[in-house]
Amino acid sequence: MLAASTTPVDFPALSLLILLPVLGAAVVALIPRRQGDIAKVVGLLTSVATGAIALWVLFAFESGVEGFQYVSQHPWIDDWGISWHLGVDGISLLLVALTGVLFPLVIAGVDPHHDHQRYLAWMLLLEAGVMGSFVSLDLFLFFVFFEIVLVPMYFLIGGWGYDQRVYAATKFFLFTMAGSAFMLVGIVATAVLAKADDGAVTFDLVKIAENADFATSTGRWLFAAFAIAFAVKVPLFPLHTWLPDAHTQAPTGGSVILAGVLLKLGTYGLLRFGVYLFPEAAVWARPVFLTLATIGIIWGAIAATMQRDLKRVVAYSSVAHLGFIVLGTFALTSAAVTGGLIQNINHGVSTGALFLLVGMIYERRHTREISELKGLQKVAPVFAGFFTIVMLSSIGVPGLNGFVGEFMVLIGSFGSARWWVTIAATGVIIAALYLLWAYQRVFHTEPDAANSSFPELRWREGMLLAPFVVLIVFCGVYPKPMIDRVQPAVDSLLAHVEERSGWSQPTPDEPVVPAEEPGEQEGED
Amino acid sequence: MGTDILDVMETPVLDWFALSPLLVLLGAALVMLVVGALTPPWPRHLATAVTCAAGIAVGVLGVLLWRQVDREGASLLVNDAVQLDKLTVWSMLIAAVGLVMVSLTSDGFGERENLAQPETHALYLLAALGAIAMAGANSLIVLFLALETMSLALYVLVASHRRRTASQESGLKYFVLGGFSSAVFLYGVALVYGGTGSTEITRMLVALDRQVDLDPMNETMMLAGVALIIVGLAFKVGAVPFHSWVADVYQGAPTPVTSFMASVAKAAAFVAMLRVLLIGLGHWADDYRPVIAALAVLTLVVGSVMAVVQTDVKRMLAFSSVSHAGFMLVGVEAAAHLPGTLESDGTSSVLLYVLVYSVLVLGTFAVVTAVSGHGDASTSLDAFRGLGRSRPVIALAMTVLLLAQAGVPLTSGFVAKFGVISAAAGEKSWLLAVLAMVSAVIAAYLYLRIMISMWVADPVAGDDARPPVQVSRPIAAVVAMSVAFTLFVGVLPGPLVGITP
């Protein structure tokens, strides 16, 4: 990541990833209501095309190389030093691909029941916003996308959600916006304080990260301003309370996207903008983040165990899973950060699929109460089979994708954050507890009268779930292509951190750096 | 005898072209008052057409003057009583935009409410005249006269809905409080004159440069004068704790008048504030800067919090307007770090903000005008319920405008907020910047409430019995202009940011 290496491509792939959905949304919104079917086709085609470009980016990406690829830079607001600067590296690559894959699946597979056109338009705008956030290399541009994402999501929850949707949507909007408020000041402050000697202000991420030299306390304040926004987005304990509401009240498609990619904006942001811009402060704040992540893992798991609503179980499991990702990020070792990034994808796939399955249950039974569901395995064995695979992936059973990320995080963190990992590892066990218990109550025993007519998985639903299952198995069995693409970027990021903060990754030979013992954290520079 | 006096008296050289926008407004207003009184009722839309034409003429002249200022630099007119610089022209442009939009809004409004057309429009023209003169005034006396011209027109406009007691009541309230604040302002002017020996804004600094050490008496008098002037101007911009009139007057006034007060009048007051504080009283910047900061914090927080707890949309938008004034004050505070010049980031952030906010608020209140229905009374949150179903296009436009006011990116509102935050950060006013953003989040809830009401609130029995919302063409045009500007500036802020003085 030191010098942005540019792949000479004439094809503005990343710009298209953003502009294509915007265009699609505009077209969908403008098609007259009578021709709703055309709008559906247009929406689907747009998202498929965007997904195809995202996958092309994924496969054409030169693995094993650090630095940004597909860079495109155009001036936007010259007076303020803001440019349309896009690029993708190992840290954002997989998230871009995940976004590209999830959206067409959700658009094709989940029916919003009413106002299809508006729903589609919001979905496509959401896709543009998420894509933009992942590929922006300009602080201002990133903020624009990061914040604009709120609007479509707000309307998706508010317009197509369940009973408490207004409350959930408003809470989601205000929580996230409150976090962003600090980040906006942080972004401006970063640009102003990093002003070059010639007085030119720039919001360019790479330039600021490589050239700026903040005073220690300044860097910490700035880091805090960014970190609050991302901590809300992740969400990190104790800022997570918007998540169960938003996830539960959102329509199924919204939940999938929310869990699948929106939360990743937080973990991605922590790494890209927190750690990369303010290495010293990130190292300084490690104990706080490790602790909050660990609390989140345990808290989320316990809370998930106690839920009566199946969707809330999945929602709280997200809190726990995201805790693992943050743990990996702030363990600041190559394996842990890579594991965290891979866990981003795994969580998106498996939790996305879980939300789809829960949505299907709701479609059939019009309830998500665990106590109302019983013995579904008897009447719908194929459905139960899919649910089992996805659930096992979420638990982190070896051979499925969830295991890879979690294992890499745990093993990578052990050297640098031993005590936190020790506690966090119990979260893995509780995860097995709450998911298996929920499964047992919903799928086992004999179905009662209400559940005995539970329809089996339909062909279309199977087609929707199949790609998820393929990904779950493939990433679990052969994660190497992913790791190859992610690791160089992570290593160069960590080299950047080590160079600027005095942090050093523990080598396998000397597993624990004495200064990193929790007891001796206070007063560390 | 008379000839002798004329021989002695020096009449100022007049640059007629530079004054032409004011003359156009004055002429149009007089024509409308006189001719309107002498002729039978005017055909529909005629008064609107005249006002629009005057507004467009001011706009065109403003652009020409802008070029002139660009070429030749700023100049003083009428014996140094009026300053012609980019700030003045900027206010001219805001006034022009405001006139066009508000006359279109009040066109349909006047017909619906059966209110006299030419008189109302004449008052708008006079208020705009006062606003431009206020922004350009280089003499505190002229400033006061302009302020009064604008205010007197507004007092009448606020009370102009003859069949609505709320309008009358708010007119009276505004008149009493406004008169009181004018008196306070005038007293401040007197004291400052006593301290500096001049009422000319550009000459005060010179006067002070000669006598750097004011004697303590003088210093006290000056500080009192500065304080009183700030109070007077703070009242006009609706800053807390001088905001108590805002909610009642904005709610009671005919809706188009409210939009005019929130845009043109507020913009002029802010430009005057910049000019007086930075140029005239720049010497005391270190003394009044904390006061401005305190005003800004109070205005931001009280405005947003009070906005959230209202149930009437006009009242909500009134308090939101207070909160926006807080944002502008943050910009003024940043500008006050560099007194003596009007070319700082702070100044341009305020100017950008007032322009952007003016266009936003004119569009927003145009929608409110349409929704308020016959009698201009149904402005409660419930009146907006289901607008997304019954009038999706107008609801979508309103949503864009509200999101812009909330400061969501890709709208002009975000660009304006970003400018202010940048200016504050540039002067290291971190606390103000953070508080401004936090109060923006609080205020966002209020815009969300209106959006929820429009889009997702469940229909209540009896909703269908409400008269349907009629959007007249002129109002639709105003909303379209406002939305187009909002989105254009949001997506491509470069040009506007580039020309902001």
Residues of chain A in contact with residue B494, where contact means CB-CB under 8 angstroms, are: 76-79
CA A43 and chain centroid, separation? 23
Structure tokens at A322: 């995201």
Alpha helices in B197-312 (DSSP H): 201-210, 216-237, 244-252, 255-260, 266-274, 285-308
Cβ <8 Å between B448 and A173? yes
Amino acid symbol at B11: T
Mean pLDDT of chain B: 88
Cβ <8 Å between A76 and B494? yes
Which chain A residue has its CA at the smallest distance from B417's CA? A184
Minimum-distance CB partner of A181 among B430, B437, B493: B437
CB contact A22 to B (< 8 Å): no
Amino acid symbol at A243: L
Please give the pLDDT value at position A6.
47
- Res. A61: pLDDT tops 80: yes
Count of A-B CB contacts under 8 Å: 81
What pLDDT digit, counting tens, does each position of A19-54 carry? 999 998 888 888 887 787 888 888 889 999 999 999
Provide the 10 A C-beta neighbour count for residue A361: 22
Residue B305 distance to chain A (closest CA, Å): 14
The span from the CA of A91 to the CA of A1, in Å, is 10
Confidence of residue A516 (pLDDT cuts 50, 70, 90): very low
Residue window 50-109, chain B: list those with CB within 8 Å of chain A.
none
Alpha helices in B373-493 (DSSP H): 387-390, 392-406, 412-426, 430-455, 473-491
Residue B275 distance to chain A (closest CA, Å): 24
The span from the CA of B24 to the CA of B95, in Å, is 13
- Res. B53: pLDDT tops 70: yes
Cβ <8 Å between A185 and B421? yes
Strand partners, A74: A84
Residue B200 three-state SS: strand
Average pLDDT over every residue of B276-298: 89
Residue window 233-252, chain B: list those with CB within 8 Å of chain A.
none
Show Cβ contacts of residue B432 under 8 Å, excluding neighbours closer than 6 positions: B293, B296, B297, B330, B333, B424
Which chain B residue has its CA at the smallest distance from A146's CA? B409
Average pLDDT over every residue of B58-85: 88
Minimum-distance CB partner of A77 among B434, B448, B494: B494
φ/ψ of residue B7, rounded to 5: -65, -40
CB contact A220 to B (< 8 Å): no
Mean pLDDT of chain A: 85
Q: Minimum mean pLDDT among B202-211, B218-227, B244-253: which range?
A: B202-211
Confidence of residue A517 (pLDDT cuts 50, 70, 90): very low
Average pLDDT over every residue of B331-355: 89
Question: Which of A91, A191, A69, A101 has its CA nearest to residue A141?
Answer: A191
Please give the pLDDT value at position B229.
93
Cβ <8 Å between A166 and B437? no
- Res. A501: pLDDT tops 70: yes
Global pTM reads 0.88
Please give the pLDDT value at position B344.
85
Residue B432 distance to chain A (closest CA, Å): 10
> Half-sphere exposure (CA, 13 Å, Cβ side) for B90?
29
CB contact A177 to B (< 8 Å): yes
The span from the CA of B259 to the CA of B98, in Å, is 9
Confidence of residue A443 (pLDDT cuts 50, 70, 90): confident
Residues of chain B in contact with residue A147, where contact means CB-CB under 8 angstroms, are: 408-409, 414
CB contact A163 to B (< 8 Å): no
Cα torsion A419, A422, A426, A428: sign: positive
Average pLDDT over every residue of A278-286: 89
Show Cβ contacts of residue B293 under 8 Å, excluding neighbours closer than 6 positions: B333, B429, B432
CB contact B457 to A (< 8 Å): yes
Which chain A residue has its CA at the smallest distance from B445's CA? A174
Residues of chain A in contact with residue B445, where contact means CB-CB under 8 angstroms, are: 170, 174
Minimum-distance CB partner of B452 among A80, A143, A158: A158
Residues of chain B in contact with residue A77, where contact means CB-CB under 8 angstroms, are: 493-494, 497
Which chain B residue has its CA at the smallest distance from A222's CA? B430
What percentage of chain A reaches a pLDDT higher than 90? 18
Residues of chain A in contact with residue B498, where contact means CB-CB under 8 angstroms, are: 78-79
Please give the pLDDT value at position B3.
57
Cβ(B474)–Cβ(B108) below 8 Å: yes
Confidence of residue B452 (pLDDT cuts 50, 70, 90): confident
Residues of chain B in contact with residue A169, where contact means CB-CB under 8 angstroms, are: 452, 456
Cβ <8 Å between A170 and B409? no
Average pLDDT over every residue of B371-388: 83
Which chain B residue has its CA at the smallest distance from A190's CA? B425
Helix axis angle, A139-148 relative to A150-160, nearest 10°? 10
Confidence of residue A109 (pLDDT cuts 50, 70, 90): confident
Tell me the residue ranges of DSSP E strands in B21-137. 75-77, 82-84
Question: Which of B184, B112, B124 has its CA nearest to residue B153?
Answer: B124
The span from the CA of B47 to the CA of B314, in Å, is 26
* DSSP for residue B116: -
Which chain B residue has its CA at the smallest distance from A181's CA? B437
Please give the pLDDT value at position A197.
60
Higher pLDDT, B142 or B215: B142
Cβ(A67)–Cβ(A89) below 8 Å: yes
H or E stretch including A77?
A: strand A69-77
DSSP codes of every residue in A244-279? HHHHHHS-HHHHHHIIIIIHHHHHHHIIIIIIHH-H
Q: Minimum mean pLDDT among B329-333, B442-446, B481-485: which range?
A: B442-446
Cβ <8 Å between B414 and A144? yes
> Half-sphere exposure (CA, 13 Å, Cβ side) for A286?
28
Which chain A residue has its CA at the smallest distance from B409's CA? A144
Please give the pLDDT value at position B208.
63
Residues of chain B in contact with residue A79, where contact means CB-CB under 8 angstroms, are: 494, 497-498
Which chain A residue has its CA at the smallest distance from B497's CA? A79
The span from the CA of B203 to the CA of B80, in Å, is 9
H or E stretch including A172?
A: helix A165-193
Please give the pLDDT value at position B479.
94
Residues of chain A in contact with residue B497, where contact means CB-CB under 8 angstroms, are: 77, 79-80
What pLDDT digit, counting tens, does each position of B149-200 carry? 999 999 999 998 888 888 889 999 999 999 999 999 999 999 988 888 888 8
Cβ <8 Å between A144 and B418? no
Cβ <8 Å between A192 and B457? no
- Cα–Cα distances (Å) from B4 to A160, B11, B13, B140, in that order, read 84, 14, 20, 30
Residue B17 distance to chain A (closest CA, Å): 32
Question: Which of B81, B208, B88 has its CA nearest to residue B138?
Answer: B81
Cβ <8 Å between A166 and B445? no
CB contact B489 to A (< 8 Å): no
Minimum-distance CB partner of B494 among A79, A145, A154: A79
- Res. A4: pLDDT tops 70: no
- Residue carrying the six token digits 């980040």: A183
CB contact A19 to B (< 8 Å): no
* DSSP for residue B405: H
- Res. B282: pLDDT tops 70: yes
Residue B369 distance to chain A (closest CA, Å): 25
Cβ <8 Å between B433 and A189? yes
Cβ(B113)–Cβ(B254) below 8 Å: yes
Residue B337 three-state SS: coil
Cβ <8 Å between A185 and B498? no
Cβ <8 Å between A181 and B438? yes
